[in-house]
Structure 1
Amino acid sequence: MEESLLLMLSNLLNLQNNLDPSTSTSDASLSCSTSAAPLLFFTIATILTYISSKGVTKPEAEYSVSAFRALSTEHIWAMEAPLRDAQWRSLYGISYPVFTTVVDKLKPYIAESQLSLPSDYAVAMVLSRLTHGHSSQTLATRYGLEPYLISKITNMVTRLLSTKLYPEFIKIPVSRRRLSETTLGFQESTHLPNMCGSIHSSAIKLHSLPTTLINPSIYYSHSGFPSILLQLVSDHKKIFWDVCVKAPGGYDIATHFRDSLLYNRLISGDIVWDKGLNVRGEYVRPYIIGDSGYPLLSFLLTPFSHNRSGTPAQNAFDEALTRGRKVAQEAIGLLKGRWKILQDLNVGLNHAPQTIVACCVLHNLCQIAREPEPDPWKEPEENGHPPRVLENEKSSNYSGEDARQALADDLYQRLSSR
């Protein structure tokens, strides 16, 4: 028992003696009935008031603003960097320097929202949710806040990540230097020239669907769970240079691709990659690669077959494509491994796309900073059927066929001459 509480009880006993001094035995029972009872109630009330004023330490205190401030300012610089960053990653998914980078970039926008919580504390709370996949109810209990406030802060931070930081950290490689670096990087692993990206799609599982949806069946993926489609293009370093989240999980990937801004910019010639090659008399522009579920176009090359049933040259090309496609598949595995909320997305449907894109932005930050790669999330291999060629795609499809065959023949000749 604390010394201050003992002193309080002692003073109360002295008060009892002054108000009700010792009496004769005959008067003792009367004394107890007239003065002891009120003093007892007064004593209990005083103790309860004292306890209320002191407060009771809750288990969640380690997640309070003061505890976070102590960890992030008072102790952080006294720790060895590897230990510090390992602890930070276990809590928030990223090292302390990367965390401060995110906070510094978001702080001006968070300040405009007049949030009652410190910016770094709010960002840490959201990163904790993205890293561990916690629900708003779980974080509400842990941080001593209302669930609606947790959701509000999550929506604000993910919106800022997906809008304000997206243009800085997710960029199409249009500069000559970056385009050359990317194509050379892919060429080292695939032996195919002018490859500048690997496209892949993944169904992001939704924890639940709103009961008010008119047609919920369109959200169910081929694997049978409600989801939203994520389409991304990765470079050779598993850094995303384009991200699109526009379609329910039941859509096919070709339809999703054709609805994307990337497709419209490529098909219209808005994106100019000034790095064309002449391969066996065919003009080969910089191109991305994808599986058979995507349309074959001059800027998107797909396999000849999914079971290696082509000619030796075509099979060699398909094997090279498999190595290139593996980069994007591994990148998605890292994305879901780092941000476990994407394994079972427990946010409102309206905020699901921005949450997914926010995680992609954070993934790029981690790859650029060379953060340790987590155990990747394993996804089932899916090969879609070749989609129908649209009328406006015919010219590009013919060019894609010619470029693909020229690359296959050139690759096979080089491999055979070794």
Structure 2
Amino acid sequence: MRQQRRRSARRAERLRRWREDVYRRIRARKMQRAAMLLMAVAGFQEGQHRDRQIWVEHRESNWWEDTVLHPAYRKWNEDFRMSKACFEHICNQLNPVLRKQDTNWRKSIPVNKRVALTLYRLATNESYRSIGNLFNVARSTACVIFQETCEAIVSTLMRTYIRMPEGRTLEKTMRGFRRKTGFPMCGGAIDGSHIPIIGPNENHTDFLNRKNHHSVILQAVCDDKYRFIDINVGWPGRVHDARVFSNSRIRRVGDSGRLFPNIAENLYGVEIPPMIIGDPAYPLLSWLMKGFRDNGNLTAEKKMFNHILSKTRMVIEGCFGRLKGRWRCLLKRNDSDTEFVVTVITACCILHNICEIHKQRFNPEWLQGINEERRPRPENLDVHGQAGRFNPEQIRETLVQHFVRLFPDELQRFQ
């Protein structure tokens, strides 16, 4: 009996101590919550934004605010590939999409800083860590800003700055090509270019091009003033240009007869419709002209035609050179996700057109390290007419006759 009473007394004592401990913890938590509430109320009543010491890391350098925004800054064209006026024009167009709201904790990053960070990254291909130090933001923040701004450029400005010419614009383009080389009814030049990337984890062999490097293909059409009028981005580097073209929107629109307006120029009794010009990798169509296949037996007239067409088509190679010279991120392997690489390339093409339209100065030194190698590519023997009205072979023969009459002295060079 005595042992049972002792055990009962010990259990009662443990229970009492446990209850006291629980009550003590509850009181401590209540006091802690009350103290936090008082601190929050006191901070709110101050009505002042205090500098955050935990959430924002203090950075010593701020190249953007201390140097670039200074009135004496004169390197806009070198650092951002455009003048300050052109830069502000882009910021105004992107402002509705990129503008963020200030909060009680911090002020939002302004639109001009977001656009400048993106342009600097595209122009120099600097790492996010270096760019973060220059613009006084964290590396992760620089990455997010770059992605958001590239996506805003594509979604907001694509339809405004990259589109096929119509009406008077088309007439000016055709006059421009004719003034340069004498080629009539030329509305653009088409070609493809490889943009290097880091091979993806899945199906990486599909992106290996003929040089055994990973890349994606940029198929583009440009006008006489080095401006893109149509682009197709994203096909793996292993794919031939002819297949990219066959699956592109411009092929579907061209075959439907909606690529150019229903106009034609009569040359020696043959109607010559508006057309784009390409190299032997592309098919011969009523709206796509290419040279004769050189099997060693070409006549002097056909050789001269090939020479004039090739000289006219050089504008697309110059366009690719100016694109990569301005935005040098396209020269080195892009470390972004394969899908986002398409967005980056498209954004570069849009910004390139903005610079060309606003006549921004292009520094010839930017072309250093750019080698758009022209390689012989398999001949595409496809020949198609358009609804029976235009015969591509007849059009090409008529153009041969036209150049012989237009440049009789040049013909001697090819005999």
Class of the TM-score when normalised by the shorter of the 2 chains: 0.7 to 0.9
Q: Secondary structure at the match of 2:118?
A: helix
For 2:355, the equivalent position in structure 1 comes to 366
Deviations 1:132-177 (A, max 9, x none): 01132432344443433322211111112122101111121111x1
Aligned residue type for 1:67: D
Aligned residue type for 2:163: K
- Are 1:99 and 2:84 an aligned pair? no
* Percent of paired sites with the same residue: 25
Correspondences of 1:235-246 after superposition (within 5 Å): 235-246=223-234
Correspondences of 1:247-258 after superposition (within 5 Å): 247-258=235-246
CA displacement at 1:361 relative to structure 2? 0.8
Correspondences of 1:4-403 after superposition (within 5 Å): 60-63=61-64, 66-67=65-66, 71-72=68-69, 75-76=70-71, 79=72, 84=73, 86-111=74-99, 116-175=108-167, 177-206=168-197, 208-211=198-201, 213=202, 215-305=203-293, 309-344=297-332, 345-375=334-364, 376=367, 377-389=370-382, 393=384, 399-403=391-395
Structure 2: distance between partners of 1:100 and 1:405:
50
Residues 87/259 of structure 1: CA separation in 2 closer, same or farther (3 Å cut): same
Aligned residue type for 2:93: K
Structure 1: distance between partners of 2:155 and 2:101:
15
Q: Is the 8 A contact 2:128 2:142 kept in 1?
A: yes
Residues 220/137 of structure 1: CA separation in 2 closer, same or farther (3 Å cut): farther
Structure 2: distance between partners of 1:406 and 1:113:
63
CA displacement at 1:59 relative to structure 2? 5.5
Q: Secondary structure at the match of 2:187?
A: strand
Q: Secondary structure at the match of 2:191?
A: strand
CA displacement at 1:274 relative to structure 2? 3.5
Q: Is the 8 A contact 2:158 2:350 kept in 1?
A: yes
TM-score with structure 1 length normalisation?
Answer: 0.77
Name structure 1 gaps, 5 residues minimum: 1-51
Aligned residue type for 2:226: K
Structure 2: distance between partners of 1:56 and 1:108:
29
Aligned residue type for 2:79: L
Q: Is the 8 A contact 2:324 2:331 kept in 1?
A: yes
Q: Is the 8 A contact 2:279 2:291 kept in 1?
A: yes
Structure 1: distance between partners of 2:302 and 2:321:
28
CA displacement at 1:258 relative to structure 2? 1.6
Structure 2: distance between partners of 1:209 and 1:94:
32
CA displacement at 1:121 relative to structure 2? 0.3
Structure 1: distance between partners of 2:257 and 2:134:
51
Deviation larger for 272-281 or 162-171: 272-281
Structure 2: distance between partners of 1:145 and 1:127:
16
Aligned residue type for 1:305: R
Deviations 1:252-286 (A, max 9, x none): 11111121111111111123423301223322110
Residues 140/56 of structure 1: CA separation in 2 closer, same or farther (3 Å cut): closer
Aligned residue type for 2:350: V
Name structure 2 gaps, 5 residues minimum: 1-52, 411-415
After superposition, the CA RMSD in angstroms is 2.7
For 2:398, the equivalent position in structure 1 comes to 406
Structure 1: distance between partners of 2:184 and 2:77:
38
Q: Is the 8 A contact 1:135 1:346 kept in 2?
A: no
Residues 287/191 of structure 1: CA separation in 2 closer, same or farther (3 Å cut): same
Q: Is the 8 A contact 2:81 2:123 kept in 1?
A: yes
Structure 1: distance between partners of 2:287 and 2:243:
17
Q: Is the 8 A contact 1:291 1:383 kept in 2?
A: no
Deviation larger for 137-146 or 359-368: 137-146
Structure 2: distance between partners of 1:306 and 1:138:
51
Whichever structure has more helix as a proportion of its residues is 1
For 2:4, the equivalent position in structure 1 comes to none
Q: Is the 8 A contact 2:183 2:312 kept in 1?
A: no
Structure 2: distance between partners of 1:306 and 1:146:
57
Number of positions where the alignment pairs a residue of Structure 1 with one of Structure 2: 347
Q: Is the 8 A contact 2:385 2:392 kept in 1?
A: no
Q: Is the 8 A contact 2:59 2:136 kept in 1?
A: no
CA displacement at 1:409 relative to structure 2? 1.4
Aligned residue type for 2:110: P
Structure 1: distance between partners of 2:170 and 2:189:
14
Structure 1: distance between partners of 2:255 and 2:311:
26
Aligned residue type for 1:139: I
TM-score with structure 2 length normalisation?
Answer: 0.77
Q: Secondary structure at the match of 1:347?
A: coil
CA displacement at 1:307 relative to structure 2? 7.7
Aligned residue type for 2:353: N
Report runs of 4+ in structure 1 exceeding 6 Å deviation.
Answer: 112-115
Deviations 1:154-208 (A, max 9, x none): 1111112122101111121111x111111111011221210110111100011x1
Aligned residue type for 2:263: K
Aligned residue type for 1:155: Q
Q: Secondary structure at the match of 2:192?
A: strand
